[in-house]
Amino acid sequence: MRINQFIAHAGVASRRKAEELIKEGKVKVNGKKMTDLAFQVSGNDLVEVNGQQLRNEEFVYFLLNKPRGVISSVTDDKGRPTVVEILGGVKERIYPVGRLDWDTSGLLILTNDGDFANLMTHPSHQIDKTYVAKVEGHANKENLRPLTLGMKIEGQKISPARYSIIRTEKQKNASIVELTIHEGHNHQVKKMFETVGLPVQKLSRITFGSLTLDGVPAGKYRELTRKEVKDLMNLAK
């Protein structure tokens, strides 16, 4: 297979990112720096990225119900717990697809398939993601209407979202709102609510495309079925 495909299969990066690594001189084949993007890797070739030897892993896909206080990363230089540590029994070199803030809980996918991860995270593929937010203030049609029209946040255009008010808690001056978006900009949901005057107190992602958290308690995970992976890829395409 082509060198970029081999790197993607090893769970290091997507094919596009693999090509960038080759151009940057970070890939070696049999001890020699690789420059040929069309190079065909055989079973006897030794491939290294940044000095790390790669092996062609089988693709694996997991759904994690991420708890609050856990970092959506492979490692953390501050020693905080990471999502990969929760899946400590998985032998493949998996990584999170996108990220949830450390104080955001809910549905997170982990895999070693770089191409799949790229499909899931690119905003042009418009995969719906639904969040439940506890916000400060009384949510109503008037103050939530800007979310459905699209808005600019810090100069960045945000696509229209869908919402449902689950309940308002007048005594606590808080509301529970369900919000569905298909993008994944940094802190997007929190910034959207903050823009309409409803700062987020607590946030959880409950769906990703066709996936839900049914049967997966906080801090637990399960492997996705082949059908679930296929359905997600069809949604992205």
The catalytic residues are 101
For residue 68, what are the CA distances in angstroms to 3, 104, 160? 38, 5, 27
DSSP 45: -
Residue 48 three-state SS: strand
Nearest of 187, 165, 189 to residue 178 by alpha carbon: 165
> Quick check: helix, strand or coil at residue 105?
strand
CA angle 211, 139, 168 (to 5 degrees): 85
Residue among 177, 182, 183 at smallest CA distance from 200: 177
Query: How far apart, in whole angstroms, are the C-alpha atoms of residue 121 and residue 132?
Result: 20
Burial of 230 (0-12, 13-18, 19+ CB in 10 A): exposed
Which runs of E-coded beta strand occur in the chain?
27-29, 32-33, 47-49, 52-53, 61-66, 95-96, 104-111, 129-136, 151-153, 156-158, 162-169, 174-181, 200-208, 211-212, 221-223
